[in-house]
Structure 1
């Protein structure tokens, strides 16, 4: 695995855990507004996205077609929070409630699964040659599916910071 991608995966996950570690379970599970996810739900969504990404990359590796697809500036798309996306059912979080430590454990488990899975791919160059359709980003090379994990996480870290401000303003 490319060192910078590993570093970014590690850095984003660290940033995420730092954002939630000091929250109590009430803050963690409070919905800041009607029809808005709690911080716990945002984190559960990130776990589900990481697990779904492993499944998609696994399927993509089995595809026969290896016509390289156009690379996208996914980072710019993901960090633009003015554009909203509806999460596909498969990555919609449970209502909870969740405990902070429970979610940290789930995040650690999903990241371990991802890193273990990626370590089993002998020829990493194949990831740039095969692609799968992403629900928000369209057809993406498989290596960009890995990049979208930390870009997506960064997007939601910003959302968590906003939720914290909204919750603080209520009290």
Structure 2
């Protein structure tokens, strides 16, 4: 994995942690509407996406297909005017979360992702193999990694908006 991707993963996670650090239990779990996620649920969704990404990359590496996958415009994820329905596998739990327990979940999922990626001996395979992404279609495995921090950036913007609407200042 390139240093740039590593830096982006780290920078984005730092920004996420900054946005949620000072939230109270109530602020973290409040919902603007019953059909909208709380900030806690958004964070749980990010944990689940990271876990699902590990599985997708693992499955993609096992593929025998020899056709080089087409690069996708993964930056489409940042366009928040485009709504995506989260697949069931990455829908967050409905019960409330403590901010500290979410930090633990976020740290655990990131640690597992980085540990998994470090076990891939031939990193060139990440650009040569693909797996179907629910929103972006057939996606090269290295772009699965890139979409983690782009997806997280998308949700950080959502959290910032929610904090304004919930009148949270920090």
Range into which the TM-score falls when normalised by the shorter chain: over 0.9
Deviations 1:107-162 (A, max 9, x none): 00000000000000011000000001000001000000000000000000000001
TM-score normalised to structure 2 length: 0.97
Q: Distance in 1 between matches of 2:145 and 2:89?
A: 18
Q: Which runs of 5+ in 1 are unaligned?
A: none
Q: Which residue of 2 aligns with 1:21?
A: 21
Structure 2 residue 133 is the aligned partner of structure 1 residue 134:
yes
Give the secondary-structure state (helix, strand or coil) at the position aligned to 1:22: coil
- Dislocated runs of 4+, deviation >2 Å: none
Q: Distance in 1 between matches of 2:100 and 2:141?
A: 31
Q: Which runs of 5+ in 2 are unaligned?
A: none
Q: Distance in 2 between matches of 1:165 and 1:31?
A: 13
Matches within 5 A, 1:148-159: 148-159=147-158
State the Cα distance separating 1:66 from its structure 2 match.
2.9
Give the secondary-structure state (helix, strand or coil) at the position aligned to 1:140: strand
Q: Distance in 2 between matches of 1:39 and 1:66?
A: 41
CA contact (8 A) 1:78 1:155 kept: yes
Give the secondary-structure state (helix, strand or coil) at the position aligned to 2:166: helix
State the Cα distance separating 1:166 from its structure 2 match.
1.0
State the Cα distance separating 1:33 from its structure 2 match.
2.0
Deviations 1:80-109 (A, max 9, x none): 000000000000000121000000100000
CA contact (8 A) 1:66 1:131 kept: no
Q: Which residue of 2 aligns with 1:79?
A: 78
Structure 2 residue 43 is the aligned partner of structure 1 residue 43:
yes
Structure 2 residue 27 is the aligned partner of structure 1 residue 33:
no
Query: Could you say what the CA RMSD is over the residues aligned between the two structures, in angstroms?
Result: 0.9
Q: Distance in 2 between matches of 1:30 and 1:84?
A: 21
Q: Distance in 2 between matches of 1:86 and 1:57?
A: 21
Matches within 5 A, 1:83-102: 83-102=82-101
State the Cα distance separating 1:34 from its structure 2 match.
2.9
